[in-house]
Amino acid sequence: MAPPNRAGSVPAREAALDGAVVSLGREGGVYADQFEIYHGNSNPDLARKICRYLGVEPGKAEVFQFANENIFVKILDNVREKDVFLVQPTSHPVNQSIMELLIMIDAFKRASAGRITAVIPFYAYGRSDKKDQPRVPITARLIADMLTVAGADRVLAMDLHQGQIQGFFNIPVDELTAVHILSNYFKHKHLEDLVVVTDLGFAKRARTFAELLDAPLAVIEKRRIGNLDRAELMNVIGDVRGKRAIIVDDEIDTGGTLTEIVRALERENVSEIYACATHGVLSGPAVEKIRDSSLIEVVLTDSVPLPAIKRLSKFTTLSVAPLIGEAIRRIHRGESVGALFSSEVSFTQEMLLWEDGQQRRIDTRDEPDAGDGNGPDGDPDDTEPEQLTQFASAMPPRDR
């Protein structure tokens, strides 16, 4: 009996149904005519959404921890010479997630997988990417070395904290970005007098975000105090007075920087403040800080799972499953991943509200007080149909 995610259910493999093997372009590398998707315990919901988008079932594996905290992995399928993708963001609990990923890679390598791609939607330790103090490590490089030594053949990541992290790897790295999905969400809200606000570290991608919204860019100059999760804001560079501001960043961790930016914008008499980020880590008091702030809405992706205890009516979550799924399909086929953000950028933006094949609605109200903010589904308030734009957001995979 064939495994549940045989090639027959995936358009990417239709050309190889005769049982032949296909070359994926790596010198001397030949992989079976099918790819398999496996996941650890870090974000299984995202992995299942990716599989649902691609029309496959996740591969079967046991990944668990013994009483002595030793992690054990057993693959329950035959993966010999197959193209394997391991979906495991290194989010909470960070160190356990990293070890799970490393041990999974080793298990698949010893099971003779043809190629192993580590799909890491959130790359932990990304902020430790340089020696900015005496006698400190570059942990982002250490993690890259560990993944390579464990046996990963390539990495698929999303919005790394800094682009130079790609250079820490001696294997191919494909970096996706959620900037287009996030910007398109705000584009469909039809907000006027916008200004995009970010810090210097994310300025390059924020400029793309601002261009997609046809809005000016303002930059926050900040200085971090020691090794504390606290930043001291210096200056707001740009004209923000009287505008609606969208704060954009790669990650919201403790919420300290975000709330400091909100206070700085309030001093500049900004009329409304929104925020968005790819990774909603939301550690420590972040949820309380956001709840008590004047932020109208915070838009995140599901690269990091958002537990029910942390969900607020201010939070909107967009799924990156179609984007990662499409990248996996292209990597398997040997096609361009970069085209998703250049010649086929409109296709990336169409993935806006895909959520498990269900239609979702996007609130397009200009006024923040048009409802009570307490919709029954946990999203911003349920309002009259004329205040909403309906999106047929269940993206059918291409070439089906």
Both tokens of 331, joined, read 């990597």
What is the Cα–Cα distance from 391 to 354, expressed in whole angstroms? Answer: 9
- Listed residue (143, 117, 146, 119) closest to 129, CA to CA: 143
**309 token code pair:** 């205890």
Token pair belonging to 334: 């040997």
Decide: 293 and 270 in contact? Cβ < 8 Å. Answer: no
Tokens of 48: 């299942």
Residue 178: HSE in the Cβ half-sphere, 13 Å Cα cutoff:
34
Widest CA span in the chain = 66
What's the sign of the alpha-carbon dihedral 356, 367, 196, 215? positive
Instruction: Judge contact between 117 and 176, C-beta under 8 A.
Output: no
Which tokens hold the place of 119? 């799909």
For residues 321 and 302, the answer to whether their CB atoms sit within 8 Å is yes
Answer whether the bond into residue 93 is a cis peptide, omega within 30°.
yes
Sign of CA dihedral 51, 52, 56, 61: positive
As a dihedral over the C-alpha atoms of residue 360, residue 195, residue 190, residue 158, rounded to 10 degrees, the angle is -30
**222 included as an active-site residue:** yes
Selected catalytic residue, list 222, 243, 289, 314: 222
Spatial CA neighbour of 89 closest among 115, 61, 124: 124
Closest CA to 144 of 117, 166, 113: 166
- The helix/strand/coil state of 186 is helix
Q: Work out whether the CA dihedral 194, 258, 175, 91 comes out positive or negative.
A: negative
Angle between helices 179-187 and 203-213 (to 10 degrees): 30
Q: Are 123 and 175 in contact (CB under 8 A)?
A: no
How many Cβ atoms sit within 10 Å of the Cβ of residue 130? 12
- Rg value, the chain, Cα: 22
167 vs 26: CA distance, rounded Å: 20
Active site residues: 222
